[in-house]
């Protein structure tokens, strides 16, 4: 009896064969206990791994990630604004403003002003 | 790839992927809130993946959070050359590898070895392991390279192409690695079951 090579058996197990190849291996496996044993062994591992359910959906996880994302965004804006203020760019400040959305700019400028207690920072 | 709540993990249907691609484009254009939907869609599979790779739910949750944060920070570099899911799993995998390396530096292999030995040693009724315990022991016993490829294939049901994209290796490398991983897993499970049978026989005597 000619057995399919191990690569073909692996692909058969992983449903990566063409329909035609699939039928041919299926026929062989039906009458070959050696190849069947190979598949049964692989199936044991698969069954065990599939037995573990996915974690349940967690809204608190989503909230926690989004909170960190927002913090990270604020830090990025703060960094950009600091660069903006220290850039030494000779253009008037107002021409550089479109770099930021107006809401985030107002928020960050106010926050930085409060933090550093400096005089108005938009030069 | 698809989050699943059923024990059978079906591949991601096209419309869902299209919706994800839309959210990705929104985030790339600055709509931070669209990222909520992406996190909601992928959080369970990514948490599951990280938890299994690290074999620790708390560490898995931290790694998953870090994954989503890294993905957000670099989402503009995502060009759609692979699916977003593969891209995200790649980040999760790299995050877990970093954590494992750190753990390896901090501790010896003793702990892993002792768990493996626990699974092999002669012993008690507790060796009649439930599936979850068996899975945990198996994951612990497998090398990280074999653990990740088995999880991607058998738990997350990715095809060879998707796996090669996550692991950034050729399809041939995927096939070879998967084959060796299965051999390692089967050998370990066989050993575990043999031990179980020995214990059962001893208890009946």
Residue-wise pLDDT for B28-38, tens only, equals: 998 999 999 99
Q: Is B44 in contact with A53 (Cβ distance < 8 A)? A: no
CB-defined contacts A:B, below 8 A: 109
Contact B175, B68 (CB under 8 A): no
| Residue A103 or residue A50, greater confidence | A50
Q: Is B45 in contact with A57 (Cβ distance < 8 A)? A: no
Instruction: From residue A61, give the alpha-carbon distance in Å to each of A74, A99, B43, B61, B173.
Output: 20, 32, 8, 8, 35
* pLDDT grade for B101, boundaries at 50, 70 and 90: confident
Judge if pTM exceeds 0.90: no
Residues of A within an 8 Å Cβ radius of B: 6-7, 10-11, 14, 16, 41-42, 44-46, 48-59, 61-62, 64-66, 68-70, 72-73, 101
Show residues of chain A in contact with B43, CB under 8 Å. Answer: 57-58, 61-62, 65
SS3 label, residue B198: helix
CB-closest option in A7, A48, A101 to B134: A48
**Average pLDDT score over residue span A55-79:** 90
CA pair distance B98, B191, nearest whole angstrom = 30
* pLDDT grade for B113, boundaries at 50, 70 and 90: very low
**How many C-beta atoms lie closer than 10 Å to residue B87's C-beta?**
21
Residue-wise pLDDT for A24-64, tens only, equals: 999 999 999 989 988 998 898 898 888 888 888 899 999 99
| pLDDT over 90 (residue B76) | yes
**Average pLDDT score over residue span B52-76:** 94
Query: What value, to the nearest 5°, has the Cα angle with vertex A46 and ends A45 and A48?
Result: 65
């Amino acid at each position: 009896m000619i057995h399919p090579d191990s690569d073909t058996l692996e692909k058969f197990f992983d449903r990566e064969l063409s329909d035609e190849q699939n039928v041919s291996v299926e026929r062989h496996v039906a009458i070959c206990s050696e190849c069947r044993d190979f598949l049964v062994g692989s199936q044991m591992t698969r069954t065990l791994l599939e037995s573990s359910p996915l974690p349940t959906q967690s809204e608190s996880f989503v909230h926690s990630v989004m909170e960190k994302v927002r913090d990270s965004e604020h830090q990025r804006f703060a960094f950009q604004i600091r660069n903006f203020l220290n850039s030494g760019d000779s253009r008037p400040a107002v021409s550089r403003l479109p770099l930021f959305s107006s809401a985030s700019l107002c928020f960050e400028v106010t926050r930085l002003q409060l933090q550093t207690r400096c005089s108005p920072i938009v030069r | 790839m698809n989050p699943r709540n059923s024990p059978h993990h079906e591949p991601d249907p096209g419309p869902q992927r299209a919706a994800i691609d839309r959210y990705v484009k929104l985030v790339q254009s600055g709509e931070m809130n669209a990222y909520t939907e992406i996190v909601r869609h992928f959080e369970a599979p990514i948490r599951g993946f990280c938890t299994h790779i690290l074999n620790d739910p708390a560490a898995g949750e931290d790694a998953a959070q870090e994954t989503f944060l890294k993905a957000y920070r670099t989402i503009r570099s995502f060009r759609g050359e692979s699916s977003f899911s593969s891209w995200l799993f790649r980040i999760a995998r790299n995050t877990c590898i970093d954590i494992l390396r750190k753990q390896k530096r901090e501790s010896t292999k003793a702990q892993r070895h002792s768990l493996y030995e626990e699974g092999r040693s002669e012993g008690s009724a507790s060796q009649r392991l439930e599936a979850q315990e068996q899975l945990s022991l198996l994951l612990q016993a497998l090398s990280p390279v074999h653990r990740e490829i088995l999880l991607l294939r058998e738990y997350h049901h990715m095809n060879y192409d998707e796996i090669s994209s996550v692991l950034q290796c050729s399809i041939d490398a995927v096939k070879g690695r998967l084959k060796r991983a299965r051999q390692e897993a089967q050998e370990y499970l066989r050993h575990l079951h043999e031990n179980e049978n020995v214990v059962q026989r001893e208890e009946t005597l």
